[in-house]
Structure 1
Amino acid sequence: MATLLHLDSSLYPQGSASRDVTATFRKEWEAQHPDGKVIYRDLAAEPLPHLELDAALAGFTAPDQRTAEQSAAFVLRDQLAAELEEADAILIGAPMYNFTIPSTLKAWLDQVIIMGRTAGEKPSAAGTPVVVVASRGGSYAPGTPREGFEFVQTYLEKVLGGGLGLDVEFIVPELTLARTNPAMADLIELADASKAKAHEDAATKAKALASRLAA
């Protein structure tokens, strides 16, 4: 039975480009894995707490040497790490807010990154495929005027791939504000094409991962 860990972090429950594309991926995934399991976390609707001192120190302290406060604080980190380790594939909706990821997604990362377990020399979930839907209102692609302001893919590639050892792929629906921002009216056609390709890529990657896991 295949398990998908699905994280959404968009503030918007409706009309979110990243949520729409992750929904397409998940629909196709569930079609391929009708008896599978989905672990879902809506990080905007139910945000995780920021990493605090006791929880951080617990990650560097042997279980039998933790204080009662550290042990209690580590329960959530242990649960999140276990969800990551259980997953056969991971799906993350990561819209660009102020040039980077939502703070709710950063909170999840801070909680789940545990040196000597999920991170370090032998990350416990190493090799797990992860598809990140990195939506953005404009374009930050190579060669565009704002290329240097892109800190979603650049950051997540390092922390998910280099830090957690995951096999990272991106789907990038861009120019998502074209239909609501008059200044971007000339970009509507490009925006629609990007949206269509994102949904196509989501379905294709879900099928490809299903075949890969079945092999």
Structure 2
Amino acid sequence: MATLLHIDSSALYENSVSREVTGIFRKEWESQHPGGTVIYRDLAAEPLPHLTEDGIVAALTPVDTHTPAQTEALALRSALADELERADVVVIGTPMYNFSLPSVLKAWIDQVAIVGRTLGETSSVAGKPITVVAARGGGYGPGTPRESYEFLTTYLEKALTGLLGAEVDFIVPELTLARSQPAMADLVDAADASRAKAREDAVVKAKTLAARFAA
């Protein structure tokens, strides 16, 4: 049966747009694959440790030379790589924090990108479809004043394709702060439209990918 890896990284819960949209994606996926498997990681609730020297060295040296700390560090990296390799489809929810991604998501990428396994031309996850729900509080699209400040989708597209060789697609709800920031009051309609489109896109993308990996 098909397997979905669902990752959330927003520090918010009740008011998180990225969590809302990944939840819609997952619900549609599960409706298409009721007997399938979902692997879920909430990186905000259970943050991964940052990549350390032990984790780097362990991935580059023979197992029989590892210290206990290196063995432990590599075990975590291997477990995360196993999850990614097992998944037929991945959906990642992330907000933009200070023009980029949450550190907890960066930690996941650093841990899971393993030389000789998931990283490089012979990546074990090459071609894997990853849908990223990238929620942005303001407007950073082409032609906007802050277009050059957008390092969320630009980084993730390069990291997930360039490092892992994955097939990456984005759903981008914008202006998510419009209803809570008085200075953005005139953007509320645009924000609502962007959020509605993100919900619709999540259903369409999940249904399309579910059909692609039908049993």
Common fold by TM > 0.5: yes
Aligned partner of 2:20 in structure 1 is 20
Letter aligned with residue 81 of structure 1 = A
2:5–2:91 CA contact under 8 A, matched in 1: yes
Are positions 1:176 and 2:169 aligned together? no
Distance, in Å, in 1 between the alignment partners of 2:126 and 2:63 is 23
Letter aligned with residue 69 of structure 1 = A
Aligned residues: 215
Distance, in Å, in 2 between the alignment partners of 1:66 and 1:124 is 24
Aligned partner of 2:137 in structure 1 is 137
Aligned partner of 2:85 in structure 1 is 85
Distance, in Å, in 1 between the alignment partners of 2:127 and 2:120 is 14
Distance, in Å, in 1 between the alignment partners of 2:37 and 2:154 is 30
User: Secondary structure at 1:131's aligned position in 2?
Assistant: strand
Trace 1:1-215 onto structure 2 (pairs within 5 A).
1-214=1-214
Distance, in Å, in 2 between the alignment partners of 1:189 and 1:202 is 20
Letter aligned with residue 7 of structure 2 = L
Q: Percent identity?
A: 65
Shift of 1:71: 1.1
Q: Deviations over 1:92-122 (max 9, x none)?
A: 0011000000000001111101011000121
Letter aligned with residue 190 of structure 2 = L
Distance, in Å, in 1 between the alignment partners of 2:120 and 2:59 is 12
Q: Deviations over 1:110-144 (max 9, x none)?
A: 11010110001210011110000000100100100
Letter aligned with residue 152 of structure 1 = L
Distance, in Å, in 1 between the alignment partners of 2:165 and 2:100 is 21
User: Secondary structure at 2:12's aligned position in 1?
Assistant: coil
Shift of 1:69: 2.2
Distance, in Å, in 1 between the alignment partners of 2:68 and 2:179 is 53
Shift of 1:64: 2.4
Distance, in Å, in 2 between the alignment partners of 1:37 and 1:103 is 27
Shift of 1:65: 2.6
Q: Deviations over 1:120-176 (max 9, x none)?
A: 121001111000000010010010000000001100001101110110000000000
Where does structure 2 lack aligned partners over 5 or more consecutive residues?
none
RMSD: 0.9
Distance, in Å, in 2 between the alignment partners of 1:120 and 1:66 is 23
